[in-house]
Amino acid sequence: MIDDLYAAQFTVRGETQSLQQWRTQPILVINTATQCGFTPQFAGLEALHKKYAEQGLKVLGFPCNQFNNQEPESDQNMAEVCLLSHGVSFDLTHKVAVKGENIHAVFKALTQLAPGIMGSKGIKWNFTKFLISPDGTSIERFGSTTKPEAIEPKIIALLKTIN
């Protein structure tokens, strides 16, 4: 299962990447959508990215259109909306499935390794967040309503383990 966590995915620019390249860093993974009620969280996620990227935090958005068609944009348009409307400069992948039959390997691993409330495996909505420790041995899951600022103390603690 841990190998699936580091499965390859494609960026919005069509480049192949893997969480493996950041395996020695804390990684914050979020399933995003540009037309969701939680979209204002982009500002908090971007703030975390800007504040902690140089110290080693990797923020990575995985856009998803599985919740009420809230990410209908093409990869290119979605990236432009994220940048122009929300100031997002952290990396985004192409759109992926975060639940169901075609679930992306990264989310299959995350949902198994870090279940939600009462052990639920599935992702219930956009902006579910996963904080992965630098060695991948610890993964913490945060629901859609958890604001990025609330995760900051946990990020700081993980950064202290590498700096």
Name the pTM for this structure: 0.91
Here the tokens at position 150 are: 């609330």
Which domain covers residue 130, as residue numbers? 2-160
Secondary structure of residue 49 in the 3-state scheme = helix
Euclidean distance between CA atoms 4 and 76, whole angstroms? 26
Per-residue pLDDT tens listing for the chain (163 residues): 556 666 666 776 777 788 888 889 999 999 999 889 999 999 999 999 999 999 999 999 999 999 999 988 777 777 666 665 667 889 888 889 999 999 998 999 999 999 887 777 889 999 999 999 998 888 999 999 999 999 999 999 999 988 7
pLDDT for residue 21: 85
Euclidean distance between CA atoms 82 and 109, whole angstroms? 26
Euclidean distance between CA atoms 154 and 163, whole angstroms? 15
pLDDT for residue 43: 93
State the total domains in the chain: 1
**What CATH number has the domain bearing residue 70?**
3.40.30.10
Catalytically active residues are: 36
